Structure 1
Amino acid sequence: MKTHLNTIKKYIYRVLMILSAVYLVLRVVSIVLVKGFDFMIFSRTYEINLLNLAPSMDILMSTICFTVAFIYFDGLKRVVISFAAFLLFIYSVFMWFPMLIVSQSLTSIEDPSLTDNYAVHQVSHQGHLGEGVLYIAVYKEHYPLLYKRVTSESQRFSKKDDYKTVDSFEKNNYTISEDQKYLYYGKMKVPLK
């Protein structure tokens, strides 16, 4: 019975270590796609930028890897792998908050007239006296889950003069031009291509 239990524990540890290794490979691939090829990883189904989950998943996976490595391995392997996983955990904890600050939330553009899939990242900065800037970046789907920025647009506004534009921007009420080349938020015209 005890040997059977040990076999099950070793199997679970191996599965968790393999899961940690697969996650590490996926994380490196995602970093290369985002930094090297300027892609965003976005799920239209769940309406979430998957890179926003990465900092929290990094902490979880490095904790699992550290714990399993410390329990499963013996001798020098235990020290080296546990220490590497611990360093990854410390790095993940320190990078968690800054990565959440710079994360971008995307919203998919849902319109039956569009032939391609698009997502937008919207930011509005409002200054004093009701003036500010509206900024929007448009991303086009190139591969499943992979979006690349095609254009960005910013416009100064006065909330008093451009209330309709600001209101439609904040509520994400947009219209698509008939030729599918422009996205409109009130008076704000954003090219899609």
Structure 2
Amino acid sequence: MEFTKRQRTIIEMLKAKSPLTGEEIAGQLGLSVPTIRGDLRLLTAVEVLAARPKVGYVYRGENQAGVDYKTLYDHPISTIMQPAAVIKDNATLQDAISKLFLQDVGSLYVVDASERLVGVISRKDLLRASFNNANPSSILASVIMTRMPNIVTVTADMKVNEVGQLLLKHKVDSLPVVDKDSPQTVIGKITKNRLFQHFMTYAKEE
């Protein structure tokens, strides 16, 4: 399997000394724990590392990683993307709060009357707006959303590796999947958690 430079560094660190906690690994790399969390999850999923509760990460051996790079990374997100939670731009803040928690999602994609993507609302956006407004029913979703073109979108034919890099680069938990021929039409979403499930499912199959 082909690992990134940082993943290779983590492997060498654990080869030299195990166990190490996530905080110790991050400290030696000069990074934060959230920054390397995806690397640790992947290396654990493919069984190069093992995570031991209250102990840390230990090196297991790269011969454990019988993973085909093409299958794992060079895989279109069309088969693993999820339905998107959509709300109209004339919906109220209260409507958005209710929909987000009823559907148990992290973000809502805002569309106009023509079903075109115009914005996105995250849990943080809703929390911030709720604190700042005494009457959620009087505020429209369009007021608190992040607007186009400040939204990163992906298409269903894009690969797991490419989409994962975008999630990390822009520090978001999910991205809207849009129609390649109609870039403002939302057809689904892809999340960090869904990519992790993809890695874990493949690891189990191996």
Shorter-chain TM-score category?
Answer: under 0.3
Larger-Rg structure:
1
TM-score, L = length of structure 1: 0.23
TM-score, L = length of structure 2: 0.22
- Which has the higher relative contact order, 1 or 2, with Cα contacts under 8 A spaced 6 or more apart? 2
